[in-house]
Structure formats: C-alpha cells, structure tokens
A and B are shown apart, each in its own frame.
Chain A
Amino acid sequence: MSEPLVLGIETSCDETGVGIVRGSTLLADAIASSVEEHARFGGVVPEVASRAHLEAMRPTVGRALETAGVGLDDIDAIAVTAGPGLAGALLVGVAAAKAYALALDRPLYGVNHLSAHVAVDLLENGPLEEPCVALLVSGGHSSVLLVPQVGGEEVTELGATVDDAAGEAYDKVARLLGLPFPGGPPIDRLAREGDPAAIAFPRGLSGPHDPPFAFSFSGLKTAVARWVEGRRRAGEDVPVADVAASFQEAVVDVLTAKAVRAARERGVGHLLLGGGVAANSRLRALAAQRCAEAGLRLRVPRPGLCTDNGAMVAALGAQLVRHGASPSSLDIPADSALSIEDVLV
C-alpha cells in the first residue's frame, strides 16, 4: 500500500496553514498570514486572527490542493492542530477539519501543535526511529523533550521555561529596541552586525543548583531593558546591533547548553530543533558547533518549516496514521491549554 496522503490544518495563532504530505514527503505547504494586521498592535490580536482564519480557510485549502496536484477525494486523512494556542483561532481550524472529515468520510486526527513542530523534521531529514532529545523553542513555549520516536504518540518533557518563552523574549526585546513585530527575524538580522560579547547579559537558571533543563528569560529581558534605559538616560546612543547580538547570545547559549546536556545525559544520539525560534541563524550555528563537539547529530528543519505551518500538522498526522493510532472523534474540543505531552486528542 502506498503511504497515506494527509491534509493538515493549522490555525493556532496568526497563520492559516494547510499542508499536504504523502507519508513523509512534502507535497504542499500553503500559508495565509494575518501578521501584518497585528504588527501595529505589537502582538497577535486574537479576534483579528480568528476572522482572518475564517476568510483564508477555503482559499488556502484550494492552493494546497493545487500545488500538490491532488483532489480532496484523494486525501486519506485530515489532521488538525487541536491545541495549544488561541482558543478562538484553534476553533476555526478544528471545525473546518471536522467538516472535511465528515463530508469526505475520512478519519480525523486532532494533534498537538508542539509535537507537530517536532515532527516536521521528518519531511526533510527522514525517519528517526530511535529516541532523541528535542529542543522546542517558539513564541509560546521553550522546552526540552525526550521523544522516543519522532511522530509517535509519546513525548516526555524534561524541562521548560518557568516564565517567558524564548520567542516571547525576542518579541519583547525587539519592542523595547523599537524593532517590528515579530521580533525574532529583525534581531537575528541585526545581531549579525553586532558584537555578541559586547554586553554580559545574564544566563538564566544556569547555576549548579538550578534545575538542569528549565529556562528563564524574563530576567534577561529586564536586564536588557535596564541596560538600554541606562544608556538613554545618560543621553548616549544605544548600540542596537550590539544589544541584539549580546541578548541573542545569552538566549542561544543557554538553550543549546541545556539541550546538549540533556541529550548526553539521556544517552541519545540526536538533538532535534523545532519551533519558530529554531529558524534563528545563531541558534542553528551554535547548536551545530556544540553537537559536533559532543558527538551528537543535529536535526533541524529549514527555517520556513520552523514557524507555524500546515505541513507540520500533516507530517504528524501521517505518522499517526502509519502507526495505526485511533482517529479522533468528531466531538473533540479545541484545547487552548493542551499539555505538551498529549500528542493526539
């Protein structure tokens, strides 16, 4: 039998994503984003995002089908992000997915957005049928995960942020530097021209008695704010590139150190990166360097697949189909606070 053809729908935040995969082959990844409508608010406005999802849903499905060169009748299963995310936004995708599943008489898989960020790696780097450690770093989450099998139903969280997520820290620091939303890409760009050792910003929860795989970024954000305010108050220019580079170095230093340590302690051979912040060029470079030093293999999807998209949902759905997971029922809720360890709803 050929691999399952799966359509995946993602609406947990401000991107309406529809992806189509056959097994772990990517056929289409259509996205409509409302990010520009949110930019002037400095963050995602839930009602604006939900309205945009409703408008974009059918056209985005249409574009994905066209790109993949398949019809809805060819689809074997529908996967959808059931959580976590913005409740009203999730609901649009979940309702659409149920409707397609019902009208086409195909199984529905309500999946975890964070596991999908991890599973998307399969589309580029192929199957990984042994345990790995995954560093999931996004706008709402920063966690170190033990993943027995990428795309499987089991995930264990070894540690997580106790306050802000890494992406959130990028967004907040960008705002205080007067950079646009979302803050990750502009800081990434500016940091290339700055000196990462210019300012010694704190590395949160990195002491010998701190929990080994937990993160904290809110103290870092405050330290950056203090430093910038001090400069401004003294009437001096703020060296934005140096601040960006030094802030970024503090973030990726802690992220990679802890992720590599987790992989070594767990005796696994691979470290996998996922989530929007995994698009960061410095995080990718430092992770590559530290994995090489530790004898670990690094797996990281291309930047376009790190941020939210429908292909990641389809990729996870296809694995669940392959492993014979039971489909979700038509009455599943959209769960804005879905636990990171619940892969399938």
Chain B
Amino acid sequence: MFVLAIDTSSAAVSAAVGPIEDPHALVIRTQVNARGHGELLAPTIADCLRSAGVTPAELHAVVAGVGPGPFTGLRVGLVTAISIADARGLPTYGVCSLDALAVADRRVLVATDARRREVYWARYADGRRRDEPSVSRAEDVPLEGCEAMVGAGARQYAEVLGLPLLDGDYPDLRRLVAAAAERVLAGAPSEPLTPLYLRRPDAVAPGQPKAVTP
C-alpha cells in the first residue's frame, strides 16, 4: 500500500512516497526554503514518485501535516494533498506537524518557528502530546515536565528556552507517516485536512474615509 506524505508547515518543503507497511522504505525529499513551497513542492513530489517507481494511480492514501505553521506555505501543502487525493480518489489523513518532531522516548518540548518572534509549540511525554498545539513568545512557553527540546523554534530561541537541544529541526516524514499508519492500514474514513492556523487573520475594519478638503 503506497502512500504519499506531505509536510509544508515549516521552512522545509517535504514529501515522501513509499509503502505504509515499511517506513524505512519511504523515499523522502526535503528542501529547506521558507519562501519556496509554491514552486518546490510539486516537483519534489514528482521526484519522490519517480524515485520510488510509483505512479499516482498506484497510491492508496495521502498523509499531510496540518500544521501549525506559517499560513502560506502550510496551505500549499494542504491544497496539494487535497487535490492529488481528489484526482485519484484517495482518502486523506491529517497529522499535527509537531507530532512529526517529537522523540518517542523523551519528555520533550517541540517548538517550531511561528515568525513574529513567536513559536508554535506542544509538550510530549512517552511519545504522546500533552498540550493542544499553541503559539506564543518563547518566554511564555511552559517548560515543566520537559527534559529536552527540538525544532527550528527551539533552536532559534535556545537561550530563552534553556533546555538541551536535540537534532532535527523540521518535521520528519517517517514519523508523520507512522503517526497515520494505523488509520491508513485500517482503511479508516478519510479526514478533512483542516489547517491549524492558531491565529486569526490580520484584518482591521476601516474608519471613515479621510476628508480631502482641509
């Protein structure tokens, strides 16, 4: 059963293709380019398919990281996953992108870059997420129960956060696929890929038009 996996919740543009039964056989391609999602993702997927020797018609499911992450890049990944699934009649499965960074056997803080001097974060223990994903300034992230931290946001604010930093700045597609494997294998119902924006759109209602006569 071949799956396509996509994550564009960070500066990394990542895709993977391979058998769901064997995450180690996944062909994974990642390029780090915070503004390149729109241009890079489709060719990256094409490259994964070619390298794995899999055609789109042979896919069984699409797994996507639903964020949280910077909006524009995140949407590129989700609309791509949704459209490929639509074109091939495939189910889609969403995974919180922070889960793809968590280290199974450690109590860790996962923090990714949310721009505007903030991080997206959640705490993990025994491979399980303990918080709803949140966005806040690094100073305001609670560190109780964490022995280490991981993620590009953790690296960026390493001094403020102060925990030992683990390797792996970006979501790991092997973990992403593993997080959805049970549902994929069980043929669970397709899930809507709803982005975790965690912030409202910036929009201000205008005041009265300015007078042109003094």
Contacts and interface: CB of A to CB of B under 8 A. Distances in A.
B201 interface: yes
A176 B79 CA distance: 38
B209 interface: yes
A95 interface: yes
**Chief secondary structure at chain A's binding surface:** helix
Interface string A45-70: 10110110110011001100000000
B86 interface: yes
Contact of B87 (A92, A100, A329, A333): A100
A322 B45 CA distance: 29
Nearest to A173: B209
Contact of A58 (B76, B82, B88, B212): B82
Interface stretch (B17-25, B33-41, B141-149, B158-166): B33-41
Given A54-B195, A95-B79, A331-B42, A175 B205 contact: no
A230 B212 CA distance: 10
A64 to B, nearest CB: 12
Contacts of B189: none
A135 to B, nearest CB: 28
A96 interface: yes
Contacts of B213: 225-226, 229-230, 233
Interface string A22-52: 0000000000000000001111010110110
B42 A99 contact: yes
A114 B85 CA distance: 30
Given A40-B205, A45-B203, A102-B46, 16 more contacts: A41-B204, A41-B206, A42-B206, A48-B201, A50-B71, A51-B197, A58-B86, A91-B72, A91-B75, A96-B79, A98-B80, A99-B87, A100-B83, A175-B209, A329-B43, A330-B46
B122 to A, nearest CB: 22
A3 interface: no
Interface string B73-116: 00110111111101110000000000000000000000000000
Contacts of A331: 39-40, 42-43
Contact of B80 (A47, A51, A96, A229): A96
B186 interface: no
B178 to A, nearest CB: 24
A40 B201 CA distance: 14
A51 B78 CA distance: 11
Interface in A71-112: 72, 87-88, 91-92, 94-100, 102-105
**Chief secondary structure at chain B's binding surface:** helix
Interface string B108-134: 000000000000000000000000000
Interface residues of A, number: 46
Nearest to B211: A229
B144 to A, nearest CB: 34
Contacts of B201: 45, 47-48, 51
B191 interface: no
A103 B88 CA distance: 7
A332 B205 CA distance: 34
Nearest to B197: A51
Contacts of B41: 95, 98
B167 interface: no
B209 A94 contact: no
B42 A41 contact: no
Given A50-B71, A54-B195, A225-B212, A99 B205 contact: no
A171 to B, nearest CB: 11
A102 B56 contact: yes
Nearest to B193: A54
B197 to A, nearest CB: 7
Contacts of A40: 205
